[in-house]
Chain A
Amino acid sequence: MTEKLLGYKGKALHFLKEVEAEVGDTIRVSKGKGTYEGVLIPRSEFSDGNHVVIKLKNGYNIGILVTQETKIERVGAGQKPTFSTSPLPKQQEELPEVTILSTGGTIASRVDYRTGGVRPALNANDLYSIVPELSEIATIKAEILYTVFSENITPKHWIKLAKEIAKNIKEGVAGIVVAHGTDTIGYTAAALSFALQNIPVPIVLVGSQRSADRPSSDAATNLIGAVTVASKAPFAEVVVAMHRTTSDKAIALHRGTKVRKCHTSRRDAFKSINTLPLAILEDGELRMLTQDYQRRNPKREVIVKPSFNEKVALVKFHPGLNRGVIDWYLDQGYEGIVLEGTGLGHVSSQCFATLRRAIAENCLVAMTSQCIWGRVNMNVYDTGRDLIKIGVIPLGDMLSETALVKIMWVLAQTKSVDEAKKLLAKNVTHEVSDRTVYQDYER
């Protein structure tokens, strides 16, 4: 597969190579009853090798089956796509400076209508031209840190991101925005919450649920919200900024340790679990929903602890779970296991022996609930009491994902199991609360 014939393979690739056609060229395909002329379009790499795709003059794409009778001619050379950026809005120097770090989530993009390609914004100028409103909120410094799908992000990426953020904070920016794919944005937010403590300014992670190329995307609204918060919010915490409802009205700011993606596709997929969001941004006004938060203070010195131990697993218990799964982790030398138990925090007694082994081997075993909402309580039923006796640590109302990240972080801060247990018990960054008030689940 070559760049010039993107996605083509098999017979189609052979035919196109013969006439030296490239994506973007005008070609004429004749077969049997018809002749079709149009611009050669890249083919999806998941499609077969028997069709050539062209864009007709009226803008539509069609696929033409290549057979023995097919004739392909190259009629004209393609034009390289040029994006004429509209004149950039004037930079207002007195505005606060915000750094936007991109990790691969496409928060802004343009469409090349000629070939159908969607290109992400690459720099601050791109961002300004796509979302001109940004220039009225802040002066932007944009940087692409890496380009990976959200599901391919690992603790190594968290470390690099945390260090980069710390560097920018020390340079004195008013706030940080991290553009991130939504699938694992919650994990990254939790990781940054532990790795960067005592932060002087807000760190705002932002993504989009509906692709940035579509006019209806939530990307721009979320980004504008994120930059607004980064530049002027009164708090200095790690938050995720996403749509509060399906409407383009309000942006909810969720604490990095309490946020979870609760829907596969909706704009308002992100919810603060077991708590309210930290704040709501609506019509340019930021409304704090609690007074218990760290105030913005540019003079505060950030504490950077960017290390994570990757030998930690999150195991979801289910009826019939083979305890051999947990044994396997122990055989691999895992040092921490988060059990996502049923209800108040239970796993079957079948697992007890293996859990005893884990504790004996100095593996940190902690319990969260797969109910998502509510806190674990292992004093109510026998199983819970047994687990406590074995040495499983209940984690209160902590999210399973946050628990995983926290233990990864804890086990990188100390070698001592006792120290680790102490750190795990401590509420480091609002990841756990001792009080749950009645509220609607979905808020």
Chain B
Amino acid sequence: MQVVVINYDKIGLKVGLEIHQQLSSEKKLFCNCKTELFKGEPETTFLRRLRPTQSELGQIDPAAFFEFQKGTQVLYEIERETSCLVEMDEEPPHNLNPEALKAALTISLMLNAEPVDEIHIMRKIVIDGSNTTGFQRTSIVSLGGVAEILGKSVSIQHVGLEEDAARKMGEDSRVLKYRIDRLCIPLVEIATSPVIKTPQQAQEVAFAVGRILRATNMVKRGLGTIRQDLNISIRDGALVEIKGVQELELISLVIENEAQRQLSLLRIRDELRRRNVKENEIGDDFVDVTSVFDNTKCKVVKAAIKDGKKVYAVRLPKFSGFLKEELTPGLRLGTEMADRARFWGHCGGIFHTDELPAYSITKEEVESLRLIMDAKEDDAVVFVAEETENAWDALKAVTLRAREALAKVPEETRTAKPDGTTRYMRPRPGAARMYPETDIPPIQISAEYLRNLRKNLPELPEKKMQRLTRDYKLNRKLAREILDSEFIKLFEEIVNQSKVSPTFAIVFLTETLKALKRDGIEVEKVSNQQLSELLRQVGAGRIAKEATSDIIVWLSKHKEADVTESIDALGLGMLSLTELQVIIDNTIRENHSLLAARGDKAFGILMGILMKQLRGRVEAKRLSEIVKKKLSKLK
């Protein structure tokens, strides 16, 4: 792959962001279940089929209709604390959760969006199994906002309030597995206009919106609680929807990769055309080549044949070499075909001649495969080992993808992977099918209610930034760190009510805790209450800054313990001046000859010995002052 710096302006990059943020409301959007996920085994399961509703036929989400025809079923996993009959679609939804509505309206006002007068909950048809009903309940809460981001304003299309979907837990052959604990957790959706021009800008917008969301204190935190969908297109490319970017930091990389992927596909298209590959030459002639692999050493193929499956192959004329072409790091045209085959054929994967011989498939096997398939040197051959129906579906998907490679960049929905690459998820669904949720009456937003909300809006992050740097004498970097952390509220409480240094508090709440976490300490077990108490004690001079890490480690193992208990348990009580002086005097006496011999270096040596002994029981600064005094007297 050629690595080139992309001029995004030149390729006409356009990005729209859809940010989905879970709210931290106590209850779900349309029922009174907890907004939590369960671990471990489900209590019970149930099985459903989702039927594409009429008038969708023809314009229906083709993937969903395909699955329905194949008899795909959905197995839902449940547990009583996190879901009730509402999530099971066994009971009508309750009224819209007012706490969630308040959050969505607060966010709207902070983004300068205009709340609608009357909110109508809609049913948006989604029949991939992620919603037990077959639709997602969603609504527009406000329209047309503007977010001020680094001096530039980004227009917001709308702010929505909707239910989160069930979590996919896996699938085997034609049974999809979902867990419905996440279903119905309130989400706000913030959709920007597709006006973002560079990957960097997209990331900045996402960060800025994220900060505004967090400033409300009404949103959940942690992995999986915020998900970005990206709509990305380049000139001559296609509109590709990328779902589920879980880390804000990944956004620019995902966009760079997608732009690169589309550029690579366009380049491959041109090369294929130059090689004079014709769309109509790529046929669906699937050949049973099982006999080629009668004595194969390839484990996958061998096991499949043993299971009674067959090996089917298709010839892709003049495609030799193209399947191994890298689109973006780790992603080849062959990968794209394999992903399609997996989706449509529910098969494990495909083999193709561009990567063979390999996987214990021998040169001889490849040669006889080519012979049977009548493949010329510049043809590629793709094969799968599967049950006939699935094998054909898989190979059909492969040939379709091959034909598309000649024509265009396909419009599709892709999933973001944690490394910033994306993989095929499904074809882009047709225009959203929406109709009213008649079980929930429209919700009117009174001017009075909005006036009150406006009066009590949380501080905007930019304003807060200014205030933090001013009031606590922080540099922007430190202010940013605490502002982006989950402890901003706690931080302000602590520094306003104690004498702890704001800088120390920030470093402690961000870097120290992070470092401890990296070392495997379960810092999340330490409560805000304990953190607060610890920092107050530091401020009061009862705990040395150097002792705080040890105390956190202790607290993480002693739930609900008092900070004072930890001081006792660890023997970290601060020493009185008298105690200190005795210890210092003794140490000087014991090391007298050594100190005398080293002259000017005596201070450092003495400090070293003392700190080792007293660490955590005295502030280093205080100790050094006393030691200096003592040494000067010695001279």
Which residues of chain A have a CB within 8 Å of any CB of chain B? 33-34, 36, 41, 44, 46-48, 51, 53, 55-56, 58-65, 83-84, 86, 108-113, 116, 118, 129-130, 210, 213-217, 220-221, 245-249, 264-267
Contacts and interface: CB of A to CB of B under 8 A. Distances in A.
Contacts of B423: none
Q: Which of A34, A113, A129 has the most CB of B within 10 A?
A: A113
Interface string B116-138: 11111011110100001111001
B120 A60 contact: yes
Nearest to A115: B435
Given A112-B435, A210-B89, A215-B133, 11 more contacts: A34-B114, A46-B441, A47-B441, A53-B118, A63-B117, A116-B435, A118-B435, A214-B123, A220-B51, A246-B88, A266-B91
B140 A215 contact: no
B449 interface: no
Interface in B221-247: none
A437 to B, nearest CB: 27
Given A60-B140, A221-B49, A51 B135 contact: no
A130 B132 contact: no
B85 interface: yes
28 contacts: A33-B114, A34-B144, A46-B441, A47-B441, A53-B120, A56-B140, A60-B120, A60-B139, A61-B120, A61-B436, A63-B120, A108-B54, A109-B54, A111-B433, A113-B434, A116-B435, A116-B436, A129-B57, A214-B53, A214-B89, A214-B135, A215-B125, A216-B50, A216-B89, A246-B90, A265-B85, A265-B90, A266-B85
Contact of B116 (A41, A62, A217): A62
A140 to B, nearest CB: 16
A59 B432 contact: yes
B435 A51 contact: no
B56 to A, nearest CB: 8
B157 to A, nearest CB: 8
B156 to A, nearest CB: 13
B434 A51 contact: no
A113 B48 contact: no
B311 to A, nearest CB: 31
A33 to B, nearest CB: 6
A221 B89 CA distance: 15
A116 B435 CA distance: 5
A265 B435 contact: no
A217 B51 contact: yes
A64 B119 CA distance: 9
B53 A111 contact: yes
Contacts, number: 140
A56 B433 CA distance: 12
Interface in B81-130: 85, 88-92, 114, 116-120, 122-125, 127
A62 B503 CA distance: 48
A113 B433 contact: yes
Identify the 4 closest CB pairs spanning chains A and B, nearest first.
A215-B134, A63-B118, A110-B54, A65-B117
B55 interface: yes
Interface of B: 46-55, 57-58, 73, 85, 88-92, 114, 116-120, 122-125, 127, 132-135, 138-140, 143-144, 158, 160, 431-436, 438, 441-442, 444
A interface majority secondary structure: loop
Nearest to B132: A216
A44 B121 CA distance: 13
B135 A44 contact: no
A56 B135 CA distance: 19
Contact of B52 (A47, A215, A246): A215
B117 A51 contact: yes
Contacts of A217: 51
B47 A51 contact: no
B75 to A, nearest CB: 9
A135 to B, nearest CB: 15
A215 B53 contact: yes
A206 to B, nearest CB: 16
B48 A216 contact: yes
A110 B57 CA distance: 11
Contact of A61 (B47, B58, B122, B144): B122
Given A44-B441, A59-B122, A111-B435, A216 B54 contact: no
Nearest to B89: A216
Contacts of B50: 215-216
A27 B432 CA distance: 21
Given A62-B140, A64-B116, A112-B55, A47 B442 contact: yes
Contacts of B122: 59-61
Contacts of A46: 441
B120 A216 contact: no
A46 B442 CA distance: 10
Nearest to A41: B436
A249 B47 contact: yes
A246 B138 CA distance: 25
A51 B444 contact: yes
Contact of B143 (A34, A116, A129): A34
Nearest to A48: B444
B54 A111 contact: yes
Contacts of A83: 54-55
A47 B442 CA distance: 8
Nearest to B120: A61
B177 to A, nearest CB: 14
Nearest to A65: B117
Nearest to A59: B434
A28 to B, nearest CB: 14
Given A34-B143, A216-B48, A248-B47, A63 B444 contact: yes
Contacts of B135: 214-215
Contacts of A247: 46-48
Contacts of A58: 140, 158, 432
Contacts of A55: 434
A217 B134 CA distance: 9
A111 B432 CA distance: 13
B58 A214 contact: no
A110 B53 contact: yes
A252 to B, nearest CB: 16
Contacts of A62: 116-120, 140, 143
